[in-house]
Amino acid sequence: MANKKGKGNKGGKSRDDAAWARTDVIEREHMHNERLEKYYKAQNVLPEEEWDQFLETMRNPLPTTFRVAGSRQAARLLNDTIKDVHVPHLAGVVFEGEAVSPPQQIPWYPEGLAWQFNVAKKVLRKSPEFKKFHSFLVFETEVGNVSRQEAVSMLPPLFLEVEPHHRVLDMCAAPGSKTAQLLEALHAHDTITSSSIPSGLLIANDSDYKRTHLLIHQSARLPSPALMVTNLDASIFPAIKIPSEQTIFPSSTKARVAAKKQYQLLFDRILCDVPCSGDGTLRKNPGIWKHWSPMDGNGLHSLQLRILQRAMRMLKKGGRIVYSTCSINPVENEAVVAAALKSIPGFELIDMSNHLPGLVLRPGLTSWKPTVTREINTDFATYQDYIQTLDESQRASSKMLESHWPPSAAEAESLHLSRCLRIYPHLQDTGGFFIAILQKKPPVKAPASRGASKDPSEGKRTADAVEGLDRSDVKKAKLDVEGEAGKGQEADAEPTEDADEELPEEAMEDPTPPMEVDEATPAATSEPKIRFKKGKTAEGASAHFKENPYTFIAPDDPIIKACIEIFDLSSNFPASNLLVRNPAGDSVRSLYMVNDIVKSVVQHNDYARIRLMTCGTKVFGKQEGTEAKREGAETHFRVLSEGLPVVLPYIGPKAIVQADFAALKIFMESYYPLTSGFSESFQSMINAKANGSYVVRFQPGQLEGATLTHELVLPIWKSNVSVMLMLDKRAKSALSMRIFGEDITTAAREAAARKKEKSEATPDAQVDTPVLEEDTAGAPVDETEAVDVPETA
């Protein structure tokens, strides 16, 4: 990731930020930079015979790449549609006398779910075949089934190998394309119609407040109860507290005394797609040719190192970090990795060069030559050689660090820097990229000493199983909790010391001051109530965090009980994991659901301290409209389409209606179809039910050349004489394009009428073609704003 402005993300450029330096009008003959060529030739990043090909490729625009969301309900079916329907239709297309190649699958992406095509914009505008395919992609992108993403940007999550039980941190996440991939991995067990509730979590963080909103919209395409979004400086990311049961054995009585303590949450996987100078994005951001400077990389090195070091201190033993940049500069890449490995023991680079068959890689550099000036002075072999040439005042003002220089040859070999992965544009027609995979060495079980004393007075203590705990690692705690707490909030910015020999890692005492937690009375709810202390916030955070807090509501709340009754929810429905976004806990517009670990984090951390922007997924929303209000308070809430996959496994038969393929077409063609327009079987079922929210299961079938190959489950609202499919316009259009091959919705007909009217009024006007935006396209609309029940039906 290239850099974003803001604390913790300063001074660089974002590979995902299309607004940065987009000077696409630069002519090809001006795509030269003498300093860039001199600097990288000095680094020996490539053999001399590849240099011209490398530069020539850098001057060509990137091909269009996209991927099908791997865990979405119809991901594989959608991919089959692209492969079996659209691609054959695009084969053999000739435009202005030249053959146009159809999309091709990216060879190294798992299951063939990523695609690439290189088509000029005028072809997309004027070729009927490509125009239709492009419209299909735009619709699917808007609803989250397709992600327009640069090919190399897809790589870091694949090397993390996230599993549904993992606790994952994405430290510099905006705009969210990689976050979406991580969510897909957490939801690997999702089915076509329902979503799993993974036991793990994903915290997606970004230091830029505005970009976190983009991140929220991007991740909303794959709603998850396991997601949290925070707005923090990644280099001083605070310790996240979770409670754990720890069993203590007093030496006098040997009685088991259970005590709840606060421990730091450690992560299984951390993605450090850090701020960088971004020269690997030259093909997308040609303006870099004009002002590239090696000092950009030198200046970012320190921040990159701090972020990686912070990640290393938050990782579980056996856990994995992927460090990545879209820079070719070794000062931002191997130099950062080497410095981090030397500063924090217990980590190693792992070799994953064969992880993705078909991906062409080059090994990491083991030696490089940092420049000390913009004019590319690489004459100093070591930091000592350089610093000795400066007088006292020059040394004080110098921004060069010892870690800018490479380690000795022996150190580089012992650090295995060649296990880093480099991707160059000319190898597979991509951008430039760097990846390093670090692993925290798993604990080594020491053999039990035969002569060891078994006297409990030695003060050893064990712990009840914290998830993933190896009891052989449990030793007596030596942490001075009171002394650490006295340091105040500044402790959040300090690295957490490894306590491998004192406590199991997941149960490390948090060095930050504990919050006051009151146990709730049994008469109310079993959830603890948290009083947030007023005072200064963690370093790097704004003193005024304006977002509303999340508040859990009691399972016996009237709204929750009404939802359970209306949707016939099963007894194992996690009603205690529902929350609202307001301080008082009032049920306002939306009810969110989180999983157990997210619930624990929300309950035991000051939301302003961790700057919690959002968490979980909306499952129930208040229905607007006078008719809904007339029905009574219980019917105000309906199941939302984004939350339906999560709650579907709990919904009982009373809230489910069966329908055929013909009924789906009727819903597509009308906003408020009358019940009398459906088949008799559907009429009898729906008319027998009270007005309100229901779920329809559309059965597979064929109709007028269209085929529904799998069961489709969607939410509806029943009124007196009509029913309404509760999808926003874009989602309906995407569904129509996918199933019927064209947009048959009312919105499409209205748009076509407006387009025709406009063209007739101004015949010479050029009609705009929708653009498939990268990473930031089309966030879903809040359904409670997008649709309303008609006041009279």
pLDDT at 413 > cutoff 70:
yes
| Domain end position, chosen among 501, 527, 543 | 543
Nearest 5°: the CA angle 765, 770, 776 is 140
Query: What confidence tier does 631 reach under pLDDT thresholds 50, 70, 90?
Result: low
pLDDT at 607 > cutoff 80:
yes
pLDDT at 483 > cutoff 60:
no
Same domain (yes/no): 530, 564: no
Q: Give the chain's domain count.
A: 3
Same domain (yes/no): 630, 516: no
Question: Is 676 annotated as belonging to a binding site?
Answer: no
Tell whether 700 is covered by a domain.
yes
d(CA 774, CA 214): 12
From the list 302, 327, 412, the residue with the least C-alpha distance to 368 is 412
Same domain (yes/no): 527, 574: no
Amino acid making up residue 533: K
Same domain (yes/no): 61, 38: yes
Question: Is 463 annotated as belonging to a binding site?
Answer: no
Token pair for 692: 């309100």
Given the residues 326, 420, 563, 615, select the one marked as catalytic. 326
Question: Is 233 annotated as belonging to a binding site?
Answer: yes
So what's the pLDDT on residue 788?
36
pTM, two decimals, is 0.82
d(CA 259, CA 252): 17
Question: Is 273 annotated as belonging to a binding site?
Answer: yes
Question: Is 173 annotated as belonging to a binding site?
Answer: yes
The pLDDT of 456-468, averaged and rounded, is 35
| Domain end position, chosen among 148, 176, 204 | 148
Same domain (yes/no): 613, 733: yes
From the list 594, 627, 681, 667, the residue with the least C-alpha distance to 790 is 627
> From the CB of residue 368, how many other CB atoms can be counted at a distance below 10 Å?
20
**Pairwise pLDDT comparison (29 vs 372), residue with the higher score:** 372
So what's the pLDDT on residue 773?
58
Token pair for 679: 């088949």
Same domain (yes/no): 736, 694: yes
Question: Is 174 annotated as belonging to a binding site?
Answer: yes
So what's the pLDDT on residue 481?
28
- Measured in whole angstroms, how far is the alpha carbon of residue 70 from the centre of its chain? 13
Tell whether 393 is covered by a domain.
no
Same domain (yes/no): 558, 525: no
Helix (H, G, I), strand (E, B) or coil at 418: helix
Question: Is 235 annotated as belonging to a binding site?
Answer: no
From the list 219, 183, 194, the residue with the least C-alpha distance to 714 is 194
From the list 573, 761, 591, 715, the residue with the least C-alpha distance to 652 is 573
Same domain (yes/no): 530, 623: no
Render pLDDT for 549-568 as a digit per residue (tens, 0 to 9). 999 999 998 889 989 999 99
d(CA 427, CA 431): 10
Same domain (yes/no): 43, 65: yes
d(CA 354, CA 707): 40
So what's the pLDDT on residue 623?
81
Tell whether 595 is covered by a domain.
yes
Same domain (yes/no): 95, 70: yes
The residue range of the domain holding 574 is 551-786
Token pair for 534: 């007023």
Task: Give the side-chain half-sphere CA count within 13 A for 362.
Answer: 18
Question: Is 177 annotated as belonging to a binding site?
Answer: yes
Query: What confidence tier does 2 reach under pLDDT thresholds 50, 70, 90?
Result: low
| Domain end position, chosen among 524, 543, 562 | 543
SS (H, E, C) 198-255: CCCEEEEECCCHHHHHHHHHHHCCCCCCCEEEECCCHHHCCCCEEEEEEEECCCCCCC
Is 276 an active-site residue? no
pLDDT at 359 > cutoff 80:
yes
pLDDT at 257 > cutoff 70:
no
So what's the pLDDT on residue 77?
84
Question: Is 175 annotated as belonging to a binding site?
Answer: yes
Q: What percent of the chain has pLDDT over 70?
A: 76
So what's the pLDDT on residue 3?
52
Same domain (yes/no): 680, 723: yes
Same domain (yes/no): 533, 624: no
**Pairwise pLDDT comparison (219 vs 471), residue with the higher score:** 219
Backbone CA torsion sign across 394, 397, 399, 404: positive
B/e letters for 268-283, b = 16+ CB within 10 Å, e = fewer, are bbbbbbbbbbbbbbbb
Tell whether 357 is covered by a domain.
no
**Pairwise pLDDT comparison (50 vs 30), residue with the higher score:** 50
Query: What confidence tier does 246 reach under pLDDT thresholds 50, 70, 90?
Result: low
d(CA 773, CA 733): 18
Tell whether 316 is covered by a domain.
no
The pLDDT of 502-515, averaged and rounded, is 38
Q: What percent of the chain has pLDDT over 90?
A: 59
